[in-house]
């Protein structure tokens, strides 16, 4: 175990060829005149997304879509830290809970608009990310993963006992009829929630899209591939790790605020659970970590699966989705650790090039 | 608060500590061998408790009698997991390794919930029950049996690893796989053996725990968390460190629960983990 000294150097040398995402990003400007078919497909997708809640104008299909957006938003936030920067957090529910509690508490006690509460939540989540990240991001691999897990559990315990924010029973948000937009509460229809969730998801995806092309994004990926090599090339590793953690936490807290306004109840059991942190990780890994579309694909596959099993199998069916998730994740990790997106890409390349199947084995 | 209560807490903490130590030893053995953290360790424990429970509920066999079978079943599970999953991800990136064992944990827990519902169950009237009074201190007999059993299991494991040829081969594989392989040690089989023994340790601990603890699908999680803390505390890969760390955690938990607040006892244990990984990442008794 201690005779692996040359490994980092080899990794540093091989980083460029081992990193298809980087290559794609580098090649991107060259093929900017997008093919017509891609553009048409994109347009059709956009129209479908905008028309969806009006065509399927019933609560359940709208709810499923909203959940897809919400989970994609969370998985994408996790993806920024874990997929791009390589720091595997197992306690991302902390930031979700912070977002939910910040806006929920401010609205329930002071009637502060949840939009403002959301900003406060983002600020607190980012501050928490710095506070948690500064010491923990120095840790490597499993130590970091378990540290985040342990911190998330501790935060949940604290919130369960904290009388000021309602302890274990949490916060019940008052239902307000007037001024729905300002109060971020839509009691008549799910359609506003649909578009707000879509908007948040677009925001995080835009951020990731921009990040993939920005200097910070390249630094993140360099840190993921090899922290020592990145550091030797002048990347301030700890600073950029904390930055990735902050961005990730901020978006996660937006998801928390949205959830609080959607269900109007915030309690430690539902906003700080380990299951949430795991689910977010499973979705991102399922779709493909370190890619823009991976978390969205993961959510689009897994969320309907869990919503439908819950309906068709009822009570005990509550765990069938997790049985399938767990098995799928194990299979993906064992056979193709590139996620569904990677499998699809490989398949497409495989048919185009003719059998060059094992490319990009992450 | 009288002196008896404090002594009582110390002794119960000590008894629990030996159980934690054996659970952590299984985890540590696997990590030491191949640097993979088994995030499904808690679910292994849960399955062993269910195994003991079902032997009792269906066939009327006491968990203490079915202990060898439970341990053997768990060893088999360890082998299946190694050959089915772990062997394929040894060289995979860490994310894939974490997700594979995490996914396994989610799978096993959900499966248990699906098959056996999330209900809490207990073994009623186990072979050993009741309590004894020694100098004004009350101790549960099942706890004493579990604790002694785990300590025996731990001793066996330690003797096996340090005194037998196979055990030494295991250690050699943990230290340097390539060198061990050059010395003619079948390292692949050592990995499988590590998983079998690691899981069997949990099997023994779970079988003994089931005599006085609730059996339910989520039970593994808190024990797994404590095992991670113990392994980090003892130094990843150090078996003897697990014993000391397990006992320390048992004591901290019992005394913290008594002196501060029972609901905060895990907070103290987690704080201990964070303090150790920040200030002494090699663990309190680590070799590195």
pLDDT tens sequence across B256-268: 888 877 777 888 8
Residue B49 C-alpha, separation from nearest chain A C-alpha, in angstroms: 20
Contact A157 B267 (CB under 8 A): yes
Q: Give the model's pLDDT for residue B68.
A: 92
Cα-based angle B11, B203, B157 (whole degrees, multiple of 5): 75
Q: How confident is the model at residue A355 (pLDDT cuts 50, 70, 90)?
A: very low
Contact A326 B106 (CB under 8 A): yes
Residue of B nearest to A274 (CA): B221
Residues 6+ apart with CB under 8 A from A275: none
Any idea where the domains of chain A sit in the sequence?
58-273
Q: By the 8 A CB rule, do A8 and A226 touch?
A: yes
Mean pLDDT, range A339-362, rounded to an integer: 59
Residue A168 C-alpha, separation from nearest chain B C-alpha, in angstroms: 12
Contact B85 A329 (CB under 8 A): no
Q: By the 8 A CB rule, do B60 and B232 touch?
A: no
Residue of A nearest to B96 (CA): A333
Residues of chain A neighbouring B98 (CB-CB closer than 8 A): 88, 90, 142, 145
Residues 6+ apart with CB under 8 A from A11: A18, A225, A226, A229
Cα-based angle A269, A274, A277 (whole degrees, multiple of 5): 115
Residue A216 C-alpha, separation from nearest chain B C-alpha, in angstroms: 21
Q: Given a cut of 50, is residue A18 above it in pLDDT?
A: no
Q: Given a cut of 50, is residue B288 above it in pLDDT?
A: no
Residues in chain B, total: 288
For testing the chain B interface, which of A141, A323, A336 should be mutated: the one with the most B CBs within 10 Å?
Answer: A323
- DSSP H or E stretch at residue B138: strand B137-140
Sign of CA dihedral B70, B76, B78, B80: negative
Q: Give the model's pLDDT for residue B199.
A: 93
Percent of chain B with pLDDT over 70: 97
The more confident residue out of A34 and B120 is B120
Q: Give the model's pLDDT for residue B279.
A: 81
Q: What is the rounded CA–CA span in Å between residue B270 and residue B229?
A: 7
E-assigned strand segments in chain A: 171-172, 265-266
- Nearest by CB to A333, which of B89, B105, B109? B89
| Mean pLDDT of the residues in chain A | 81
Residues of chain B neighbouring A160 (CB-CB closer than 8 A): 263
Residues of chain A neighbouring B95 (CB-CB closer than 8 A): 82, 86, 88, 285, 289, 337
Lowest-confidence segment of A255-264, B12-21, B72-81, B169-178 by average pLDDT = B169-178
Q: How confident is the model at residue A24 (pLDDT cuts 50, 70, 90)?
A: low
Most confident listed range (A197-211, A263-277, A295-309)? A197-211
- pLDDT tens digits for A232-246? 888 888 899 999 999
Q: How far is CA B194 from CA B34, B48, B82, in A?
A: 9, 18, 9
Lowest-confidence segment of A163-167, A185-189, A287-291, B281-285 by average pLDDT = B281-285
Residues of chain A neighbouring B96 (CB-CB closer than 8 A): 333, 337, 362
- pLDDT tens digits for A85-95? 888 898 899 99
Phi and psi, residue B131, nearest 5°: -145, 165
Angle at which helices B187-209 and B41-59 pack, to 10 degrees?
50
Residue of B nearest to A154 (CA): B267
Q: What is the ipTM of this complex?
A: 0.83
Q: Supply the DSSP symbol for A84.
A: I
- pLDDT tens digits for B147-158? 899 999 899 999
Q: Give the model's pLDDT for residue B205.
A: 92
Residue B193 C-alpha, separation from nearest chain A C-alpha, in angstroms: 18
Domains of chain B in start order, with CATH, are: 3-120+144-279 (1.10.3470)
Q: How confident is the model at residue A32 (pLDDT cuts 50, 70, 90)?
A: low
Contact A150 B103 (CB under 8 A): no
> Tokens 């679910």 appear where?
B43
Q: How confident is the model at residue A21 (pLDDT cuts 50, 70, 90)?
A: low
Q: Give the model's pLDDT for residue A56.
A: 82
Q: Give the model's pLDDT for residue A5.
A: 37
Residues of chain B neighbouring A342 (CB-CB closer than 8 A): none
- pLDDT tens digits for A51-86? 888 888 788 888 899 999 999 999 999 999 988 988
Q: Give the model's pLDDT for residue A317.
A: 52
């Amino acid at each position: 175990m201690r005779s692996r000294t040359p490994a980092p150097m080899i990794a540093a040398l091989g980083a460029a060829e081992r990193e298809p995402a980087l290559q794609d990003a580098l090649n991107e400007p060259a093929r900017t005149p997008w093919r017509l078919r891609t553009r048409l497909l994109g347009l059709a997708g956009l129209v479908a997304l905008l028309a969806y809640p009006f065509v399927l104008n019933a609560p359940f299909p709208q709810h499923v879509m909203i959940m897809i957006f919400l989970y994609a938003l969370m998985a994408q936030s996790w993806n920024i830290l874990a997929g791009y920067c390589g720091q595997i957090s197992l306690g991302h529910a902390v930031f979700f809970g912070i977002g939910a509690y910040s806006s929920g508490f401010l609205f329930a006690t002071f009637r502060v608009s949840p939009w403002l509460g959301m900003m406060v939540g983002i600020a607190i989540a980012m501050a928490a990310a710095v506070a948690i990240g500064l010491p923990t991001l120095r840790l490597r691999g499993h130590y970091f993963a378990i540290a985040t897990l342990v911190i998330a559990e501790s935060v949940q315990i604290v919130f369960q006992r904290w009388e000021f924010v309602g302890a274990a029973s949490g916060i019940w948000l008052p239902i307000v009829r007037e001024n729905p937009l300002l109060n971020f509460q839509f009691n008549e229809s799910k359609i506003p929630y649909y578009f707000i969730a879509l908007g948040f998801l677009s925001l995080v995806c835009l951020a990731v899209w921009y990040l993939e092309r920005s200097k910070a994004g390249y630094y993140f990926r360099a840190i993921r591939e090899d922290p020592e090599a990145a550091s030797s090339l002048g990347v301030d590793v700890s600073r950029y790790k904390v930055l990735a953690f902050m961005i990730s936490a901020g978006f996660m807290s937006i998801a928390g605020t949205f959830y609080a306004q959607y269900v109007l109840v915030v309690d430690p059991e539902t906003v700080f659970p380990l299951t949430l942190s795991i689910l977010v990780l499973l979705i991102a890994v399922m779709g493909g970590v370190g890619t823009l579309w991976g978390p969205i694909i993961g959510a689009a596959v897994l969320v309907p699966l869990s919503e439908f099993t819950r309906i068709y199998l009822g009570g005990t069916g509550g765990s069938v989705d997790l049985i399938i998730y767990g098995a799928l994740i194990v299979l993906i990790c064992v056979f193709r650790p590139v996620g569904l997106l990677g499998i699809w890409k490989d398949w497409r390349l495989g048919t185009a090039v003719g059998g060059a199947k094992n490319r990009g084995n992450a | 608060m009288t002196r008896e209560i404090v002594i009582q807490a110390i002794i119960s903490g000590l008894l629990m500590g030996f159980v934690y130590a054996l659970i952590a030893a299984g985890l540590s053995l696997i990590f030491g061998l191949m640097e993979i953290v088994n995030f499904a360790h808690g679910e292994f424990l849960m399955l062993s408790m269910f195994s003991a429970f079902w032997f009792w509920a269906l066939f009327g066999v006491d968990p203490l009698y079915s202990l060898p079978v439970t341990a053997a079943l768990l060893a088999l599970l360890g082998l299946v997991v190694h050959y089915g999953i772990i062997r394929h991800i040894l060289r995979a990136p860490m994310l894939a390794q974490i997700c594979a064992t995490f996914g396994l944990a989610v799978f096993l827990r959900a499966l248990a919930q699906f098959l056996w519902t999330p209900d809490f169950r207990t073994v009623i009237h186990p072979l050993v029950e009741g309590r004894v009074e020694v100098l004004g201190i009350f101790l549960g007999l099942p706890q004493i049996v579990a604790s002694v059993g785990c300590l025996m299991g731990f001793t066996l494991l330690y003797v096996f690893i340090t005194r037998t040829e196979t055990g030494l081969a295991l250690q050699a594989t943990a230290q340097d796989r390539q060198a061990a392989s050059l010395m003619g040690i079948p390292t692949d089989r050592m990995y499988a053996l590590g998983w079998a023994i690691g899981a069997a340790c949990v099997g023994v601990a779970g079988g003994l725990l089931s005599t006085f603890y609730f059996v339910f699908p989520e039970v593994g999680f808190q024990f797994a968390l404590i095992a991670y803390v113990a392994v980090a505390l003892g130094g990843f890969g150090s078996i003897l460190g697990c014993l000391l760390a397990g006992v320390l955690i048992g004591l901290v938990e019992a005394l913290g629960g008594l002196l501060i607040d029972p609901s905060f006892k895990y907070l103290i244990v987690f704080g201990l983990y964070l303090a150790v990984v920040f200030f002494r990442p090699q663990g309190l008794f680590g070799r590195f």
